[in-house]
Homo-oligomer: A and B are copies of this chain.
Amino acid sequence: MLEKLERINVLYDIYGDLLTERQREVIVLYYLNDYSLGEISEHYQVSRQAVHDMIKRSVELLEKLEEKLGIYQGYFFRKEVLNQAMELLSPGELTEKNIEKLKIILGELYRENEGE
């Protein structure tokens, strides 16, 4: 659940601007502020089922945007690869072998950037 929460949190950060105000609100209330379905349904004066459906559709939209645009996936790929590169540049680490590794890593970043 924590992993799902983190994922929704990041997807919301990236794509939240493309949601409607209501879609943003239910995600913030339910996932970020930990309100219950019952509390949100009282707040909007709609059924719990309606709130459940709204939340579900909002998350599906975030996932659909990620499927089409892949910003989140690219972010994690780059983060991991850049961490590897920075380790190789630590003092005393820059052997000839590590320079070769660094070239490979930069090549990976380049190809990812070109969408290859």
Which residue of B18, B85, B102, B113 contacts A78 across the interface (Cβ within 8 Å)? Answer: B113
Task: Identify whether the interface residues of A are mostly helix, strand, loop, or mixed.
Answer: helix
A89 touches B68 (CB 8 A): no
B residues near A110, Cβ cutoff 8 Å: 79, 82, 86
A17 touches B99 (CB 8 A): no
Considering the chains assembled together, what is the distance between the CA atoms of A81 and B94 in angstroms?
21
Oligomer: number of copies: 2
Which A residues between 56 and 77 are near B, CB-CB below 8 angstroms?
A: 65, 68-69, 71, 75
Q: Is A106 an interface residue (CB 8 A)?
A: yes
Q: Which chain B residue lies CB-closest to A70? A: B71
Contact flag A109-B89 (CB < 8 Å), given A69-B14, A71-B71 = no
For the complex with contacts A82-B110, A86-B107, A109-B109, 15 further pairs of A-B residues with Cβ separation under 8 Å are A14-B69, A17-B68, A17-B69, A18-B65, A18-B68, A71-B71, A75-B113, A78-B113, A82-B109, A82-B113, A85-B106, A86-B106, A89-B103, A89-B106, A94-B94
